[in-house]
Amino acid sequence: MDVYYHTCLPSVHLRPFIRELLLLDVVAGPGEVVPVKALAANTEQCLVFYLHGHVTASHLDSGTRTVYAPIALNGIQSTRFDFYSGSPFRMLSVQFQPGVLTKFLRLPLPEFTNARIDAEAVLAAEIRQVQEQLVNAPTYAAILAQVEAYLWRRVQRLRITFEPFDRALRALAAAPHRYSLDQLAQEACLSVSQLERRFVQQLGVSPKLYARIARFSRAHALKHAHPELDWLHVAVACGYYDYQHLGKDFRQFAHATPPALLLAQAQAPDRLARLGG
């Protein structure tokens, strides 16, 4: 199986708005099946272009399956989905900085939680034209350049600005176990009730749930980056009381124990690409 997986920072002028760009390209050989991707809960909010092929998601909570639109807007995910794709498959994901998607769309986001919204329904014909340009781009570098050009045009047109709430949100995203609601509200120059309403409106979840998902994601990422660490070390480093406390979040947000989730993800296309160097 031929897998290309690449993540990169956007150009400097886009970094206040875009956290990362991700490209995945998969071509399976004769008789090969593209492995399933187990995606646990996370706080990413993305604009995803499926440039070749499509994704079918299995929702573990409901047991239903959904085929995503060719261009999807991803809200915060509070549960696990398993993703299935064919071959050839190519996708580009634009991963926004915390809280920027609501500004980029000029929409509240409560209905985006655990959803992949058809981007054409929100961004109209312009996003379809961008998709066509990306599909026909001759190189990976051209794909990245063209999507950055679109993103910068929209950011300039909307004149996106930041407030104390955005500063508080980024502080919570960076250290989800270190802030109380009162501290966040003070940082955001809001009352606690105002802070909670802003979270639901702009992120689709409460600040407490956001912090729990962010902490879970940090633990998961730390173990991936440092497999030599034992789970108790990971738990303490990420602000959990003990391994049992961490395991409870894994059961809620990944429908699996910590070792079982890593095993389920071990054969995902992006993981295979990273292991292969």
Please state, rounded to an integer, the average pLDDT across all residues of the chain.
94
- 271 pLDDT exceeds 80? no
Over residues 31-51, the mean pLDDT reads 94
Amino acid at 87: S
**Confidence (pLDDT) at 277:** 37
Q: Outline which parts of the chain fall under CATH 2.60.120.10.
A: 2-161
Q: In this model, does residue 262 exceed pLDDT 50?
A: yes
Convert the pLDDT of each residue in 63-91 to its tens digit.
889 999 999 999 999 999 999 999 999 99
pLDDT range class, residue 61, cuts 50, 70, 90:
confident
Dump pLDDT digits (tens) for 130-152.
Answer: 999 999 999 999 999 999 999 99
Reported as a single tens digit per residue, the pLDDT across 149-205 is 999 999 999 999 999 999 999 999 999 999 999 999 999 999 999 999 999 999 999
What pLDDT was estimated at residue 218?
96
DSSP code per residue over the chain? -EEEEEEE---GGGTTTEEEEEEEEEE--TT--PPPEEE--B---EEEEEEES-EEEEETTT--EEEPPSEEEE--B-S-EEEEE-SSEEEEEEEEPTTHHHHHHTS--GGGTT-EEEHHHHHHHHHHHHHHHHHH-SSHHHHHHHHHHHHHHHHHHHT----HHHHHHHHHHH-TTS--HHHHHHHHTS-HHHHHHHHHHHHSS-HHHHHHHHHHHHHHHHHHH-TTS-HHHHHHHTT-SSHHHHHHHHHHHHSS-HHHHHHHHTTSHHHHHHHT-
Q: What percent of the chain has pLDDT over 90?
A: 86
pTM here? 0.94
Given CATH 1.10.530.10, say whether it is the number of domain 164-265.
no
What pLDDT sits at residue 272?
65
What was the pLDDT predicted at 210? 98
Q: Which of 8-12, 114-118, 273-277 has the lowest mean pLDDT?
A: 273-277
Fold of the domain spanning 2-161: Jelly Rolls (2.60.120)
Predicted pLDDT at 118: 97
Residues spanned by CATH 1.10.10.60 within the chain?
164-265
